[in-house]
Amino acid sequence: MNILVIGANGQIAQHFIKKIAQTQHNAIAMIRKEEQVELLKASGANKVVVADLEKDFSHAFDGIDAVVFAAGSGGHTGADKTVMIDLWGAIKAIDETVKHNINRFVMISAMSTDDPDAGPESMRHYLVAKKLADDHLKSTNLKYTIVRPGLLTNDAPTGKVNLQGKISDYEDRAITREDVAAVLAEVIDKENTFKRTFELLNGDVPISEAVNNFS
C-alpha cells in the first residue's frame, strides 16, 4: 500500500515513516521545501513529493492507496495560519482523496476537539479548525480513522497507551509523539478502526492490543 504522508516533515510523521519502512507498505512523504527531501529519504520514505497545502497539491495523490494527514500549524500559531493548514488544508486533502478514489484516510486531530469551548481559550481557534475538519471527514464515505492525542511530548516511547472513544478518567494528559506514530502505523490497515474516532494518551495497554481490541 502506498501511503501519502501529508506534513511529513513533522515529528510524528517522521516517526511514522520510520515505522512504515519496517512494513510491507510504502511511505510517500509530502513536504513543502526541496531542502527537506534528503531528511525524509533518510527517515525511510520510499518517495518524496514537494507540494504546498496552501496551493495546488493534487499531483501528490497519484498512485496513492491511503492518506495520513499529519500537517498542523500547532496550537500556538495565529488563527490565519491555523485556518489555512488545519482547516482549509485538511478539507482540501480530504476532497482530493475522494476525487482520486482513495478509500483510506487517517487524520491526526486533538483531544477536546469535540467541544472546543471546553478547551483552553488560547487554543480555541485551533480546536475549532480541527473539529470542522474532522466533521468534514466524517461526512464522506471514506474509511477514515480520526486519532485525537493529548499533550504531545518528546519523551521516550512507552509502547503502551490509553485508547478510547472518549477518555474521561486519566492522571496524565500526555502522549509521546513516537507512541502516536506507532498507533498510526498500527491502525493503517485495521478494519475495526474504519469510520471511528478515538482519543489517545499514554497508558497501560500495549499499542497492538489497544488497537486490536478497540470497538
- pLDDT score, position 121: 85
Of 8-22, 77-91, 114-128, the range with the highest mean pLDDT is 8-22
Tens of pLDDT along 90-135? 999 999 999 999 999 999 999 989 999 887 888 888 999 999 999 9
pLDDT of 157: 98
Residue span of the structural domain in which 180 resides = 2-212
Q: How far apart are CA 25 and CA 90, in angstroms?
A: 23
User: By the 8 A CB rule, do 103 and 142 touch?
Assistant: yes
The pLDDT confidence band at residue 162, using thresholds 50, 70 and 90, is very high
Mean pLDDT along residues 70-98: 87
β 143-149/47-50 pair status: unpaired
Given a cut of 80, is residue 79 above it in pLDDT? no
pLDDT cut 70: percent of the chain above it = 98
Q: What is the mean pLDDT of the chain?
A: 94
**Distance between CA atoms of 66 and 129, rounded to whole angstroms?**
23
**8-state DSSP, 157:** P
| Whole-number Å distance between alpha carbons of 99 and 81 | 25
For 115-191, list the strands marked E by DSSP: 143-149, 151-153, 160-164, 174-176
* 19-23, 71-75, 195-199: least confident range: 71-75
Residue 20: the pLDDT is: 97
Q: What integer is the mean pLDDT of 20-38?
A: 96
Quote the pLDDT of residue 196. 98
Q: What percent of the chain stands above pLDDT 90? A: 87
Percentage helix, strand, coil for the chain under 3-state DSSP, each rounded to 5: 40, 25, 35
Per-residue model confidence (pLDDT) at position 119: 78
Total domains in the fold of the chain: 1
What is the pLDDT confidence band of residue 77, given thresholds at 50, 70 and 90? low
CATH number reported for the structural domain that contains residue 83 in this entry: 3.40.50.720
Catalytic residue among 126, 149, 180, 197: 126
Judge whether 144 counts as a catalytic residue: no
